[in-house]
Every structure is written in structure tokens, then in C-alpha cells.
């Protein structure tokens, strides 16, 4: 009888522990072109952009967590989505996009607290930095399959390095949704990167970045002429 009770207790504990186990999807954050990117031939190659490491302002205890898999019927989390270092990976993704678009980007990714006094004059001509406000993907299991929902929200700041002056700050957002048969690591990575890349591409929309570069170049030329 005692052995039966002991076995029963172990069985209950095993069941509880198995229910508590949460698996993990580990993904890499990258820039994946969402539209045709044509390198700008008019951009001066001696105009250097430094992309500072983004600050992660998401209200989460574990900054490596960027999503989850949940069951539709009770919203129970059955898996976490993580990246090794989301802030640095988002920064590298932005650098990749700018380089692909024809801009000259410094190799460094310095820390920047987004204040004017912290701008280092060794950072070329333009510094771009910001904060990650939202970076999340949820894979929700449904009766007929799964649905992926990705959301990205970044606050991006542009600073004139020579004048140590913040020129502008913009909030860029993007979402991506996909219905699929199952929740898979490669599909999670694809969907989050799609949402991030759509957001990053907004930085150059309507010539916005080129106008900032032109302003800095004009001020620089006037200063040299004096």
C-alpha cells in the first residue's frame, strides 16, 4: 500500500512538472528586404552615418524574450520566443538596411543615451539611435492551425554629430499577420523579421533621411566656407 501511495505521488508530481515545462524558440533578428532597395548613387560616400546601439525600453524582466506561443482556448503560454541580444540585433538590422540602400555606415555600434551632450564627435556626420518600445511575435494555436501576429515599434532619433544637436525624432511602427498550419521556429523568425524590416524601411520613405543628410551637409559646407 505504501509503495502504491509513493508511486501515485510521483505520478502526480511528474504530471505537474510536465505541465509547467515551457519550451523555447530561439531566433535571429535580421533585416530582410520587403521591397526593392535601390542604392542611392547621389549620396556622398564620405558622409558617414553611425548607428548607436538601440536602448531596449520594453517593460519585460527578461530582455531576451520577444514573443510566445499560446493556446487559443485559454491563452496558456506553451513556449517562449527569445533572441540572444535583441537590442544589438535590431541595431545590426538597421545598419544592414542602410548599407544596402547605399549609405556609408560606420562599423561601430556605440552606446548612446540619446542626449545631445553624449554625442561623440568621432561618430562621423550623422548618428542614428533610439529605443525599442515594442518587439513581439505571438503564435496562437487555433483549431485549424496557427496565427502569427508580429508588432514592432521603434523611437528613432537623428543627431548632427558636428553640432551635437538632435535634428528630429520619429516613431516607426509595423505589424505582420499570417495564418499557417503550425508554429515553427523558422516561420516565427520570418514573420518577426518581416515586421521589423517594414518598420526600418520607413526611415528612408519620401526621402526623409536624404533631407536630414542634406541639411547636415549644407551646414557643414557653410561652416567650411566661413
How far, rounded to the nearest angstrom, does the alpha carbon of residue 86 sit from its chain's CA centroid? 6
CA distance 212 to 220: 12
Q: 138: which strand partners?
A: 68, 149
> By the 8 A CB rule, do 204 and 101 touch?
yes
- pTM here is 0.87
User: What residues contact 12, with CB distance under 8 A and at least 6 apart?
Assistant: none
Q: Residue 11 — very low, low, confident or very high, per pLDDT cuts 50/70/90?
A: very low
Structure confidence at residue 22 (pLDDT): 64
> By the 8 A CB rule, do 101 and 39 touch?
yes
Q: Residue 15 — very low, low, confident or very high, per pLDDT cuts 50/70/90?
A: very low
Q: What are the structural domain ranges in the chain?
A: 2-225
Q: Is the pLDDT of residue 122 over 60?
A: yes
Structure confidence at residue 4 (pLDDT): 54
Q: What's the mean pLDDT in 169-192?
A: 96
Query: Quick one: angle between helices 185-201 and 86-100, nearest 10?
Result: 60
For residue range 46-74, what is the model confidence (pLDDT) as tens digits? Answer: 899 999 999 999 999 999 999 999 987 77
Q: What's the mean pLDDT in 95-117?
A: 97
| Domain 2-225 CATH class label | alpha beta
Return the biggest CA–CA distance within the chain. Answer: 98
Q: Residue 2 — very low, low, confident or very high, per pLDDT cuts 50/70/90?
A: low
CA distance 183 to 179: 10
> By the 8 A CB rule, do 118 and 55 touch?
no
Other CB atoms within a 10 A radius of the CB of residue 154 amount to 23
Amino acid at each position: 500500500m505504501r509503495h502504491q501511495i509513493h508511486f501515485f505521488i510521483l505520478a502526480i508530481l511528474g504530471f505537474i512538472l510536465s505541465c509547467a515545462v515551457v519550451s523555447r524558440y530561439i531566433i535571429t533578428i535580421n533585416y530582410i528586404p520587403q521591397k526593392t532597395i535601390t542604392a542611392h548613387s547621389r549620396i556622398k560616400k564620405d558622409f558617414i552615418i553611425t548607428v548607436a546601439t538601440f536602448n531596449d525600453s520594453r517593460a519585460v524582466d527578461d530582455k531576451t524574450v520577444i514573443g510566445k506561443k499560446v493556446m487559443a482556448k485559454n491563452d496558456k503560454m506553451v513556449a517562449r520566443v527569445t533572441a540572444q541580444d535583441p537590442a544589438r540585433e535590431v541595431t545590426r538590422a538597421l545598419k544592414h538596411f542602410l548599407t544596402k540602400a547605399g549609405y556609408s555606415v560606420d562599423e561601430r555600434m556605440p552606446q548612446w543615451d540619446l542626449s545631445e551632450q553624449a554625442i561623440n564627435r568621432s561618430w562621423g556626420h550623422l548618428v542614428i539611435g533610439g529605443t525599442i518600445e515594442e518587439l513581439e511575435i505571438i503564435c496562437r494555436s487555433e483549431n485549424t492551425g496557427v496565427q502569427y501576429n508580429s508588432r514592432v515599434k521603434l523611437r528613432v532619433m537623428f543627431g548632427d554629430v558636428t553640432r551635437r544637436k538632435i535634428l528630429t525624432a520619429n516613431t516607426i511602427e509595423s505589424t505582420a499577420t499570417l495564418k499557417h498550419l503550425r508554429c515553427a521556429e523558422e516561420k516565427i523568425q520570418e514573420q518577426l523579421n518581416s515586421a521589423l524590416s517594414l518598420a526600418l524601411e520607413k526611415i528612408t520613405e519620401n526621402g526623409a533621411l536624404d533631407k536630414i543628410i542634406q541639411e547636415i551637409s549644407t551646414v557643414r559646407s557653410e561652416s567650411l566656407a566661413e
